[in-house]
Amino acid sequence: MSRTTLQRKLTLLFGIIIVAVVLAVGGITVYESRKMLIEQARRTGVALAGNIAAAASNDFFNYNYIGLEQKAEEAAREPEVAYVILYDKEGQVAAYSGQGSADLPDSPDPLSAETTGTLQIFVLDGFIKGYGGRGLDILVPVTVAGTAARWGSVRLGLKLDRIYRRMSLLSWIVFALCLVGVFSGWAASALFTKRITIPLENLVGAAVSVSEGDYDTRIEVETGDEVQELADNFNWMTQELKKQRANLEENLDEIGRLKHFSDLVILSITNGLITMDRDGNIAAFNRMAEKILNTSAEKALGKSPNQVWGDTDAVSVMASLLQDEDSAGEVRLRWPAKDGGHRILEMGTAVIRESDGRAVGHIVLFSDLTEKKELEDRVKRADRLAALGTLAAGLAHEIKNPLTAIRTFVQLMPERHERPDFLEKFNRTVPRELDRVNNLLEDLLDLVRTPTLNISRVHVADCVGHVLETLEPEIEKRGVVVDLAIDADIQPVSADAEYLSRAIFNIVLNAVQAMPQGGTLGISSEVRNVPGEEKTVLINISDDGFGILEEHLDQIFNPFFTDKEGGTGLGLAVTNKIIEDQDGSITVRSERGKGTDFTISLPVFHTR
């Protein structure tokens, strides 16, 4: 659909205004001119009739009708006079210039009594009888000097054909002038609008060229007005745009190089990397993340972690890290593996912020520690094997006494086998010493070998209950009071129930044995949930017994170290290994003479 140009609109508008103004001026001119000519004719006719009345006043006074007839005929000779009628004071025709004329009536009508009874002048505009055209019918009273009476009337018919011809000519002249004015004005408006619109059209064309990328476009306008100022500003704007575009292209090239470099960094990084936008959806997902998390980038991009991996405990740990926008966090967690097991991941998060400090997203960095942990386990096993010599020495020392007793009984057996008291002592001592050796070897094997753990959902309250039930005779024997504060509804831990019970058993037994005169055995639990760390359950076991010397605290988990009479030094070493094998930890605080506190930390069970 074509548009009407601004030049056409302005030309049409100015043309309409000019036509309206010219027509208004012409119409007013014609109207005022006609009004002026008619008024001039009226004054002329009244003056002429007045002159006839003045000249005929004596004839009216002397009743000289012949003189009146002569004056009527003389006045009628004027070319503008159609007729002259003189009336006496009774309103009867005294003289008439149209007597015998074929165009005028032979006997005009007399005047009415109302007309003859007033000195008023009457002027009527209309068709004149016997003339066939428009004219003025003028009636002027005749008075005689020195008297106030009306002696007669002069009726004059004044022709207006010459005046109407002048008015017609004037109308044509005015019409011609109006046409000239209209066309001249229209032409002038066209030139004026062209002077305005052509630079504007050039400006529009230049704007289109600039929008298409031609920043060398210039507009040359020398009008000396606002249009030239607009053109100069446009030229300045195009030069600025050209500079800005050059800077923008340079910046885009630099951004492209930086993006390419950052993409290479992200792709080459040996850790998994995920970036998330402010809505919590994944925006970037590198190749190492695909490998570690066993998830393709195509599946992950644009979705939240819950949509990709479901509402698992691992995702919940990640979400808890992401919710803390005030600080970065780092945690270890278990991630489901292809083979149905799990991999150990170390995950850290950081907040992406704008220059004004507003958080706009998160970075999640994580690494697979599974192989590292396996290597650490192998190193631990190697360390244990390296310490085998020390263990062997300790073992030899511990086994020597029971073997010596067994050897003595065996040597005396040939000589005393028939003695009942010897046999009774033999049957009591030898099995006991053999059990002692066997238990020692079992503890040693537990310390050096990697157990097959059945990791499952374990309730701490159940394990503690079993241990207290087993040790109940020993507890009652020593007069120990148990202060139990285990929440039955506390979250379950990820552990092997049998091994966990054994570890708790060893610590509780040591605590009971440390209070031979009685005391208080405290057992409590709590959930530890620190932002940026994996949620764990803490099991605290305390006593108010002998306590441990400060210089012995860093040795109590070493095999064959003990400050307890009759102890083997393997109990706490085995306990520590059991807890570490289940991704837990054990700490100890003690003060000599006041008691000891053991704290076991185990991860909360994760739903896979």
Q: For 495-533, how does the pLDDT look when each residue is reduced to its tens digit (9 = 90+)? A: 888 888 888 888 888 888 888 888 999 999 888 887 767
Sorting pLDDT into bands at 50, 70 and 90, what band is 100?
Answer: very low
Question: What's the confidence (pLDDT) of residue 39?
Answer: 84
- Does the domain made of 456-603 have the CATH classification 3.30.565.10? yes
DSSP secondary structure code for residue 576 in this structure = H
The answer, yes or no, to whether residue 160 has pLDDT greater than 60, is yes
Token look-up 């302005």 returns 10
Question: What's the confidence (pLDDT) of residue 182?
Answer: 78
Q: Which of 464, 451, 540, 536 is nearest to 496 (CA)?
A: 451
Domains 6-166 and 269-368 share a fold: yes
> Into which CATH architecture does domain 385-448 fall?
Orthogonal Bundle (1.10)
Structure confidence by residue, pLDDT tens digits, 391-431: 555 555 556 556 666 777 677 677 776 777 777 777 777 67
Which CATH class, in words, describes the domain spanning 6-166? Answer: alpha beta
Secondary structure (3-state) at 1: coil
Token pair of 487 as six digits:
């929440």
Q: Which residue has the higher pLDDT, 176 or 570?
A: 176
The answer, yes or no, to whether residue 573 has pLDDT greater than 60, is yes
The answer, yes or no, to whether residue 226 has pLDDT greater than 80, is no
Question: What's the confidence (pLDDT) of residue 562?
Answer: 66
Q: Which of 597, 607, 453 is nearest to 538 (CA)?
A: 597
Structure confidence by residue, pLDDT tens digits, 294-303: 888 888 888 8
Token pair of 410 as six digits:
């065996």
Token pair of 450 as six digits:
């990697």
The answer, yes or no, to whether residue 131 has pLDDT greater than 70, is no
Average pLDDT, the chain: 77
List all residues 6 or more positions away from 483 whose beta carbon is below 8 Å from its beta carbon.
520, 521, 522, 523
Specify which residues 542 forms β-bridges with: 522, 597
Question: What's the confidence (pLDDT) of residue 325?
Answer: 58
Question: What's the confidence (pLDDT) of residue 113?
Answer: 62
Question: What's the confidence (pLDDT) of residue 1?
Answer: 44
Question: What's the confidence (pLDDT) of residue 44?
Answer: 86
The answer, yes or no, to whether residue 583 has pLDDT greater than 80, is yes
Share of the chain above pLDDT 70, in %: 80
Question: What's the confidence (pLDDT) of residue 117?
Answer: 67
Q: Which residue has the higher pLDDT, 172 or 532?
A: 172
Question: What's the confidence (pLDDT) of residue 389?
Answer: 56
What's the angle, vertex CA 374, arms to CA 372 and CA 380, rounded to 5?
Answer: 105
Mean pLDDT of 357-381: 79
Residues 576, 578, 581, 583, Cα dihedral to 10°: -70
Structure confidence by residue, pLDDT tens digits, 308-338: 887 777 777 777 767 765 545 567 777 777 7
Q: Which of 178, 223, 182, 180 is nearest to 200 (CA)?
A: 223
- For 572, counting Cβ atoms within 10 Å of its Cβ (0-12 exposed, 13-18 middle, 19+ buried), the class is buried
**Distance set, CA 53 to CA 58, 77, 112, 143, 157 (Å):** 9, 16, 19, 8, 14
Q: How many whole angstroms separate alpha carbon 179 and alpha carbon 173?
A: 10
Token look-up 């006719």 returns 45
Sorting pLDDT into bands at 50, 70 and 90, what band is 597?
Answer: very high
Q: Which range has the top average pLDDT, 1-10, 184-193, 196-205? A: 184-193
443, 574 contact by CB (below 8 A): yes
DSSP secondary structure code for residue 129 in this structure = T
DSSP secondary structure code for residue 123 in this structure = E
- Flag whether the pTM goes above 0.85: no
DSSP secondary structure code for residue 604 in this structure = B
Token pair of 1 as six digits:
């659909």
Residue type, 128: I
Sorting pLDDT into bands at 50, 70 and 90, what band is 257?
Answer: confident
Question: What's the confidence (pLDDT) of residue 572?
Answer: 77
Mean pLDDT of 93-117: 64
The answer, yes or no, to whether residue 461 has pLDDT greater than 60, is yes
Secondary structure (3-state) at 527: strand
Sorting pLDDT into bands at 50, 70 and 90, what band is 387?
Answer: low
Mean pLDDT of 346-354: 80
Question: What's the confidence (pLDDT) of residue 550?
Answer: 78
Q: Which of 305, 350, 347, 313 is nearest to 330 (CA)?
A: 347
List all residues 6 or more positions away from 316 whose beta carbon is below 8 Å from its beta carbon.
none
Q: Which of 97, 160, 163, 155 is nearest to 132 (CA)?
A: 160
Q: Annotate 499-514 with DSSP letters as a single string.
A: HHHHHHHHHHHHHHHT
> Domain 269-368 adopts which CATH fold?
Beta-Lactamase (3.30.450)
- H or E stretch covering 288: helix 287-293
Q: Annotate 159-208 with DSSP letters as a single string.
A: E-HHHHHHHHHHHHHHHHHHHHHHHHHHHHHHHHHHHHHHHHHHHHHHHH
Question: What's the confidence (pLDDT) of residue 175?
Answer: 82
Question: What's the confidence (pLDDT) of residue 137?
Answer: 84
Q: Which of 130, 529, 497 is nearest to 316 (CA)?
A: 529
Specify which residues 348 forms β-bridges with: 330, 365
The answer, yes or no, to whether residue 236 has pLDDT greater than 60, is yes
Question: What's the confidence (pLDDT) of residue 436?
Answer: 63
Question: What's the confidence (pLDDT) of residue 542?
Answer: 92
328, 351 contact by CB (below 8 A): yes
Number of continuous H segments (helices) and E segments (strands) in the chain: 17, 17
568, 443 contact by CB (below 8 A): yes
Question: What's the confidence (pLDDT) of residue 115?
Answer: 66
Range with lowest mean pLDDT among 4-13, 299-308, 335-344, 520-529: 4-13
Main-chain dihedrals φ then ψ at residue 164, nearest 5 degrees? -65, -30
Report the half-sphere exposure of 565 (CA within 13 A, side-chain side): 2
Q: For the chain, give every domain's residue range.
A: 6-166, 216-255, 269-368, 385-448, 456-603
**Cα-to-chain-centroid distance, residue 96:** 104
Q: Which of 438, 387, 431, 423 is nearest to 405 (CA)?
A: 431
